[in-house]
């Protein structure tokens, strides 16, 4: 039996009613979107995203634990402790070297000069290789750990300042507020890290050292070391070493800026010095 016209009209009205959204349908989509937007804003302003603002770092005065002699002709650009030995990279054209140094006497046990046209910068050690940056040549040098002979080189854009490693990647500074993480085989940049002290980029990052999951960095022209979170780029604290600079100045009028950080992980000893400083200091980490 066929349906009547009235029955067909009634069925059509029921179909339309069922397909019409109720007032609450749209809100179920709007509310999560609003929550997501508010959450993102909170993350941005709390500094969770790169480029965000971090709490202003505290400053701690560095406590001197020991004082060792240091060659005051060494224009220190890099310092690293490796398997019970202290290695140093020095700068200036015609005077740049890789050195093995005796901690107690400051005596140079072994050295190799760089070619005249290279101005040596930061150094670090991975495996059996010493990696060393140069200032304006856009060239990094690779030396054999035992002989100091050059076994390779790599290239990068811009200036080379400080160098360290996290056990897997090289970490370099170039005088800006950005650190570059490099693959030690291909030397490709695998990551860039913006470093901030509070809301401001921290410029002039120089000599670097990896210490217990944090990056320590000299800041050129300032007698402080910044302790940096390598994930966020936030400066967690400044280590004030201005009294070390004053002591170096009192001993030798030609003492230049604070530069050079080495970490003895086995004995938890932190060593620092400066360019043309007559002392190398052990300070509380």
Strands 58-61 and 235-240: parallel
Alpha-carbon span 221 to 105, nearest angstrom: 28
What sign has the CA pseudo-torsion 263, 267, 273, 276?
negative
Is the domain spanning 58-283 CATH 1.25.40.10? The answer is no
The predicted pLDDT at position 14 comes to: 52
Q: 23 phi and psi, to 5 degrees?
A: -60, -25
Mean pLDDT of 19-38: 39
What angle is formed at CA 156 by the lines to CA 153 and CA 160, rounded to 5 degrees?
Answer: 90
pLDDT per residue over 167-220, tens digit each?
A: 999 999 999 999 999 999 999 999 999 999 999 999 999 999 999 999 999 999
End-to-end Cα distance, the chain: 94
Q: What is the DSSP letter of 108?
A: E
Q: How many CB atoms lie within 10 A of CB 283?
A: 19
The predicted pLDDT at position 51 comes to: 47
| H/E stretch holding 125 | strand 120-126
Alpha-carbon span 117 to 49, nearest angstrom: 42
Q: Give the three-class secondary structure for 273.
A: strand
The predicted pLDDT at position 28 comes to: 41
Is the model's pLDDT at 34 over the cut of 50? no
Confidence of residue 20 (pLDDT cuts 50, 70, 90): very low
The predicted pLDDT at position 191 comes to: 98
Residue spans per domain, the chain: 5-45, 58-283
Residues 159, 180: contact at Cβ < 8 Å? Answer: no
Alpha-carbon span 132 to 145, nearest angstrom: 12
Mean pLDDT of 162-169: 98
**E-assigned strand segments in 157-202:** 163-165, 170-172, 178-182, 189-194, 196-197, 200-201
Helix, strand, coil share (%) of the chain residues, nearest 5? 15, 45, 40
The predicted pLDDT at position 66 comes to: 98
The predicted pLDDT at position 13 comes to: 52
Alpha-carbon span 160 to 26, nearest angstrom: 56
Mean pLDDT of 105-131: 98
Confidence of residue 10 (pLDDT cuts 50, 70, 90): low
The predicted pLDDT at position 23 comes to: 36
**Adjacent-strand bridge partners of 142:** 131, 152
What sign has the CA pseudo-torsion 49, 52, 56, 59?
positive
The predicted pLDDT at position 21 comes to: 42
The predicted pLDDT at position 165 comes to: 98
Tell me the average pLDDT of the chain. Answer: 88
The predicted pLDDT at position 31 comes to: 38
Q: Give the three-class secondary structure for 267.
A: coil
């Amino acid at each position: 039996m066929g349906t009547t016209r009235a029955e067909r009209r009634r069925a059509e009205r029921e179909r339309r009613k069922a397909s019409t959204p109720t007032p609450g349908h749209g809100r179920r989509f709007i509310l999560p979107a609003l929550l997501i937007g508010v959450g993102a804003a909170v993350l941005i302003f709390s500094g969770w995203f790169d480029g965000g603002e971090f709490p202003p770092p505290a400053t701690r005065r560095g406590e001197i634990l020991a004082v060792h002699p240091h060659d005051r002709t060494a224009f220190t650009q890099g310092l690293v402790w490796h398997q019970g030995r202290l290695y140093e990279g020095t700068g200036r054209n015609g005077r740049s070297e890789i050195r093995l140094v005796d901690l107690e006497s400051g005596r140079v046990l072994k050295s190799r000069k760089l070619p005249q046209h290279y101005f040596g910068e930061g150094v670090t050690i991975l495996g059996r290789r010493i990696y060393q940056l140069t200032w304006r040549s856009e060239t990094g040098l690779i030396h054999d750990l035992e002989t100091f002979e050059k076994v390779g080189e790599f290239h990068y854009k811009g200036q080379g300042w400080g160098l360290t490693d996290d056990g897997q990647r090289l970490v370099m500074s170039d005088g800006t507020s950005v650190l570059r993480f490099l693959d030690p085989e291909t030397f490709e940049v695998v990551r860039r890290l913006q470093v901030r002290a509070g809301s401001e980029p921290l410029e002039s990052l120089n000599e670097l050292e990896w210490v217990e999951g944090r990056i320590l960095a000299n800041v050129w022209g300032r007698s402080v070391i910044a302790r940096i979170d390598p994930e966020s780029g936030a400066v967690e604290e400044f280590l004030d070493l201005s009294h070390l600079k004053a002591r170096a100045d009192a001993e030798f009028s030609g003492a230049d800026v604070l530069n050079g950080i080495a970490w003895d992980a086995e004995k938890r000893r932190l060593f620092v010095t400066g360019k043309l400083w007559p002392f190398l200091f052990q300070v509380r980490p």
